[in-house]
Structure 1
Amino acid sequence: MYPPTYTLQTKPNPFSEFERLRKGSGLKTDEFARAMGVSVAMVMEWESKREKPTPAELKLMRLIQANPDLRKQLA
């Protein structure tokens, strides 16, 4: 009998997750910034990979992408 195999879960890269969530939101840059409660400059910092979004910001992005009604309310 073989011992069980385990796979290590790697943390998602915040930049690649941001890119995926940003594209999936369907919002323009200014609408996305407004929905996130940040400046357009901050969204541009994330896009250029100079700043990474915090875990809380990524969580809000997931909620925005998953819920079209929330997206409309925030934007």
Structure 2
Amino acid sequence: MADDVSAQLIDVQTQLTFQEDLLNALNDRVVAQDLEIRNLRRTLELLHEQMKQKNTSGEDAQFVDSERPPHY
């Protein structure tokens, strides 16, 4: 009986160790994704600012003309 309880305790401890490792790996991945999302948001904000500057400076007319497909 004591051996059975001891084996069960070892199994539980082993499972807990694997779960802790998995939790740490998931946490690392979430942190990396958060950093990537922040970088992407900053890039999007910079692009948005550039587009607003082009629209206010009058360069947007030239941009639209150069973006027309060749069949027009």
TM-score bucket (shorter structure) = under 0.3
Larger radius of gyration: 2
TM score, norm. by length of structure 2: 0.24
The answer to which structure has the higher helix fraction is 2
Higher relative contact order (CA 8 A, sep 6+): 1
